[in-house]
Homo-oligomer: A and B are copies of this chain.
Amino acid sequence: MAPNPSPIRLQTRAVVRSLLAQTAMQLFAEKGFDETTVDEVAAAAGVSRRTLFNYFRTKEDLALSGLSEQGEVIAIRLADRPGDEDVWVSLRYAFEVLDEIEASPENRLEIVSMLFDNDSLRAGHAEKQARWTDLLAPLIEPRLPASESRGFEAKAIVGAAITCLQAATEEWLRVRGSTPLFDLYDTAVAAIQKSN
């Protein structure tokens, strides 16, 4: 099949992919996701429609590909945390990389708005973030006390943390960014851990 996809090929491919996604996001931000056709994106990027689908499986992917990469960056950060640190603390530090990655603060609100405006986009967004679980859970599993269900518990914890991040993002959007995202995140985490 692909024993040697060649080192340089992969790199150019990644660059092109990134450029295409950028062009797409530009248009999506200008006209909205639903109002922008794939043909328009292809034209704006100067490639054929067919080629575009060679780089992205779906139109949705054009808007959400960044999330997968973010997941990988978070995983790298998480792996750097000391092994004896509380997992919730580690996760919070790892997530905070989002504050550094994401585009300028003004654009951020705009982008998040777009992601929440469209049904399937919002669903895809949630799904992609949920898939971060698969990347992060293996990293915190070894930190949990031994148990037959440790792997599953790790997934639950990571899933809950991501949910807090999502809830925080939703609230952050609601208040139009007037409260820092990670303040909201902390509130959410505190709420679910309160023994009540």
Contact = CB atoms under 8 A, between A and B. Distances in A.
Nearest to A150: B191
B120 A153 contact: no
A187 interface: yes
Given A87-B196, A124-B123, A127-B123, A156 B152 contact: no
Contacts of A42: none
Interface residues of A, number: 38
Those 6 A-B pairs whose CB atoms lie nearest each other, nearest first:
A156-B188, A123-B127, A153-B191, A123-B123, A160-B192, A163-B163
Interface of A: 86-88, 119-120, 122-124, 126-127, 130, 144, 149, 152-157, 159-160, 162-164, 166-168, 170-171, 184, 187-189, 191-193, 195-196
Given A120-B124, A192-B193, 10 more contacts: A123-B124, A152-B167, A153-B187, A153-B188, A155-B170, A156-B164, A156-B167, A156-B168, A156-B192, A159-B163
